[in-house]
């Protein structure tokens, strides 16, 4: 089955700097890669997703890149703000959605 | 549209008991997936239902089961509870037209097994 690895597990970034979270997947048939943000005590919320026929997607301060050959995808957050502090999960889907283990992002004011 | 709802929000059970959790998807969504979230294991896929049929299943023992009704509402059942079943159980709904349709999560049911 699909295996998704996510790094780093924790990340501290100075406010205003950029944050990058990386994921690799094992199943080359996976064709959909969402990123979820989960704040403490809340449900995971989709923040951006990318499909396998696209290499990059951007939404304001958030961007995702996908390298199908290398089977990895990354989340980039620019100009970080305190409200970006949360746990971020990547996922890959072929038949079912398989999640990475999460990255706890802390923005230091 | 109203979001995904889950009931109950909190449950406390003892070992050996069974529990039933409920999930109501977003109106018009026909697929419901269930996940177990624990601090150590992250989000683990349990199963997915579409049009009252189980379409995919994760690597959980047979004590975990589910079903979906004709109105797309779904229930999951855990029998013979163990301490390790303590977790946040999340359901997510999607349309889906394609396997890549976005999943929207409910608030979860926090299950504590004593």
pLDDT tens, position by position, A14-63:
999 999 999 999 999 999 999 999 999 899 999 999 998 889 999 999 99
Alpha carbon A86 to its chain's center? 12
Sign of CA dihedral A60, A61, A66, A67: positive
Contact B99 A32 (CB under 8 A): yes
Alpha carbons A64 and A50: distance in angstroms, whole number = 7
Task: Calculate the average pLDDT of chain A.
Answer: 95
Contact B107 A42 (CB under 8 A): yes
Q: Could you tell me the CA-to-CA distances from B56 to A1, B13, B84 in Å, in that order?
A: 12, 28, 23
Contact B48 A46 (CB under 8 A): no
Contact A99 B108 (CB under 8 A): no
Q: Which two tokens stand for residue A75?
A: 């989340």
Identify which of B44, B99, B105 has the shortest CB distance to residue A43: B105
pLDDT at residue B89 in the model: 98
B84 has pLDDT over 60: yes
Q: Averaged over B29-58, what is the pLDDT?
A: 91
Alpha carbons B6 and A98: distance in angstroms, whole number = 21
Per-residue pLDDT band for A99 (boundaries 50, 70, 90) equals: very high
Q: A96 or A16, which is more confident?
A: A16
How long a stretch of residues is chain A? 109
Cβ atoms within 10 Å of A72's Cβ, excluding its own: 16
Q: Which residues contact A53 (CB under 8 A, 6 or more apart)?
A: none
Contact A96 B42 (CB under 8 A): no
Question: Which residues on chain A are in Cβ contact (under 8 Å) with B41?
Answer: 101
Q: Which residues contact B61 (CB under 8 A, 6 or more apart)?
A: none
Q: Which residues contact A52 (CB under 8 A, 6 or more apart)?
A: A30, A31, A32, A33, A66, A68
pLDDT at residue A49 in the model: 94
B90 touches chain A (CB under 8 A): yes
Question: Which residues on chain B are in Cβ contact (under 8 Å) with A49?
Answer: 100, 102
Question: Which residues on chain A are in Cβ contact (under 8 Å) with B45?
Answer: 96-99
Percentage of chain B beyond pLDDT 90 is 84
């Amino acid at each position: 089955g699909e295996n998704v690895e996510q790094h780093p597990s924790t990340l501290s970034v100075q406010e205003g700097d950029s944050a990058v979270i990386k994921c690799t997947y094992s199943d080359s048939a996976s064709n959909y890669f969402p990123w979820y943000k989960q704040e403490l005590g809340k449900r995971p919320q989709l923040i951006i997703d990318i499909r396998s026929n696209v290499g990059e997607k951007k939404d304001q301060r958030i961007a995702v890149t996908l390298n199908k050959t290398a089977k990895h995808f990354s989340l980039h957050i620019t100009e970080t703000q305190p409200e970006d502090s949360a746990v971020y999960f990547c996922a890959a889907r072929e038949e079912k959605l398989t999640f990475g283990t999460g990255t706890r992002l802390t923005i230091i004011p | 549209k109203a979001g995904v709802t889950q009931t109950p929000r909190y449950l406390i059970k003892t070992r050996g008991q069974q529990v039933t959790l409920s999930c109501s998807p977003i109106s018009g969504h026909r697929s419901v997936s269930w996940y177990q979230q624990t601090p150590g294991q992250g989000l683990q896929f349990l199963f997915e239902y579409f049009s009252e049929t189980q379409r995919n299943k994760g690597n959980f023992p047979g004590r975990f089961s589910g079903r979906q009704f004709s109105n797309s509402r779904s229930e999951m059942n855990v029998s013979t509870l163990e301490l390790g079943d303590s977790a946040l159980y999340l359901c997510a709904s999607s349309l889906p037209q394609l396997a890549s349709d976005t999943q929207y999560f409910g608030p979860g049911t926090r299950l504590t097994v004593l």
